[in-house]
Amino acid sequence: MPGLTAANGSVLAEAASVCLEDQSHHTGVIVVVDGSQADNLTLTWDAVTDQQRRTYADLQEATEWGACGIGIIAVCKQTGQVVVERSRKGTGFDYWFGEEDDDLFQNKTRFESSGILNGDGSVIGTRVKQKLEQVKASSHTGTPAYVSVVEFSGPRARVVIGK
């Protein structure tokens, strides 16, 4: 993907595997996706090493990064689009889906991701609501968005394809 280097993709994948193992899941686990489209994602990874566990000891950060990685896979699968750009935001990056062209961030779809290490359906619902509220303003001004919330204890994900 033009907007997702191998290095950045590895970080998101490793963070996701640390969070999944923290929640006692093993390679081959199925993430149940609901929202705009029901789907299942099968995730496989190499067993997490102690070094990786130490690297991603900040589980708050790892949860956000790992959720972002899983959300990107879910959106790619549902829309057929890829990440074309990213920019620095918060403790990580924000990502943009669309076609690669010369127009940096123009006519691209914003990807809004959030992660929950361990929470129930109501927590997921509240988080999706918050994210949709956050992007609602931009939809009026022409910036569409995909919203993804991943919960690791299930594991499950809700992906809402906006405008």
Partner 1 sequence: MNHTKDLHRAAMQLLDDALAARQRGDMEQSMSLQKLALEKERAAADSVAGNLDQEPTRSILHRSAATIALDAGEYALAEHLICRALIGRPTSDIAEELRDLLEQVYFRRHLSLRGIELENDEFQMSISGTDVGYGITRTDTFLQRVSSVEKLLYRTAERKLQRPYRSAGAVAKKFKDELEVYLSVPRAASFAVSFKLGRSLQIQFEGLSFAERVVDEVLECFSIFNSARERELRERIPDPAYYTNFVGLARSIAPDGKEIKVVGFTSVRQGKAQEVALTLDQSRVPLQMLTAVPPTPGGEPPRVRVEGRLAFADALRPDKSQIKVSPAKGRPVTIIVPEGMMDDIVRPLWDTDVIVTAVRDGKDLKLVEIDPASADSNDADSEPI
Least separation in angstroms between residue 141's CB and partner 1 is: 4
Q: Put residue 11 in one of left, alpha, beta given phi > 0 → left and psi -120 to 50 → alpha.
A: alpha
Min CB(82)–partner 1 separation in Å: 15
Nearer to partner 1, 73 or 95 (CB): 95
Q: Given the rule CB under 8 A, which residues bind partner 1?
A: 5, 7-8, 11, 24, 55, 57-61, 63, 85-90, 93, 102-106, 116-120, 122, 126, 134-135, 137-138, 140-143, 153
- What distances in angstroms separate CA 27 from CA 30, 44, 100, one per listed residue? 9, 5, 33
Shortest distance in whole angstroms from residue 92 CB to partner 1: 9
Element (H, E) at 40: strand 39-43
How far apart (Å, rounded) are the C-alpha atoms in residues 133 and 149?
Answer: 14
Closer CB to partner 1, 42 or 140, in the complex: 140
CB count in 10 Å sphere of residue 90: 8
- State the minimum distance, in angstroms, from the CB of residue 106 to partner 1: 6
User: Dihedral of CA 23/28/34/36: which sign?
Assistant: positive
For the four alpha carbons of 6, 12, 16 and 18, in that order, the dihedral sign comes to positive
**CB closer to partner 1, 70 vs 112:** 112
Q: Could you tell me the smallest distance in angstroms from the CB atom of residue 74 to partner 1?
A: 21
Contact partners, residue 99, CB within 8 Å, separation at least 6? 81, 84
**Of residues 32 and 77, the one with the C-beta less far from partner 1:** 32
Pick the closer one to partner 1 by CB: 37 or 105: 105
